[in-house]
Amino acid sequence: MTLRATTCSVLLAAAFGGCGCTTNKHQVAATAPAVDPRQQDIDERKEQVMQQLATCESGSWGPQSQPIYGGRGAYHGRFQFTARTYMTYQQRHDGTVLTAREAIDAAQDYDKAMKLASYMIFELGESWHWPLCSRKLGIPAKVQEINSL
């Protein structure tokens, strides 16, 4: 089949398909899942707490172009994880066993680190891993407020 014949076939199929000449009478429109306003509020509040924590720990939040280190290289990323803490809680969270290098790399990835820190804070209630910023930001009270919604 030549390019011209292929193009004509495609155009004819599109033309007849678009005019209702096809036999497919049952088309179902895709609908987006309904957004639960309560859950949306909870998620936004959690994200705000995580952004505040990252800013307190490392000066900003969100992805960074350069690795962030603190404590003479002992702490990594926006949430200032140690490799050991990241490894331990990642395994507890989803069973993934990481090497120290993998844990350091994951801690530098804002989205991965935020997901793990959020698990530690909101699901385990362990904001004490960030003692100064947790107190400064009042994270335990914010967690309690969010959990009461």
Nearest CA to 120 among 37, 20, 44, 50?
Answer: 50
pLDDT at 3: 46
Close Cβ partners of 39 (under 8 Å, ≥ 6 residues apart): none
Give the predicted TM-score (pTM) of the model. 0.76
pLDDT at 33: 76
Cα separation of 67 and 113, whole Å? 13
- pLDDT tens for 16-59 read 555 555 555 556 566 767 889 999 999 999 999 999 999 999 99
- Lowest-pLDDT choice from 70-74, 100-104, 118-122: 70-74
**Residue type for 106, please?**
A
Distance CA 104, CA 123 (A): 22
Q: What is the largest CA-CA distance in the chain?
A: 72
| Residue-wise pLDDT tens digits, 106-137 | 999 999 999 999 999 999 999 999 999 999 99
What is the reported pLDDT for 7? 47
Q: For 83-95, what is the mean pLDDT? A: 99
Where exactly are the structural domains of the chain? 36-147
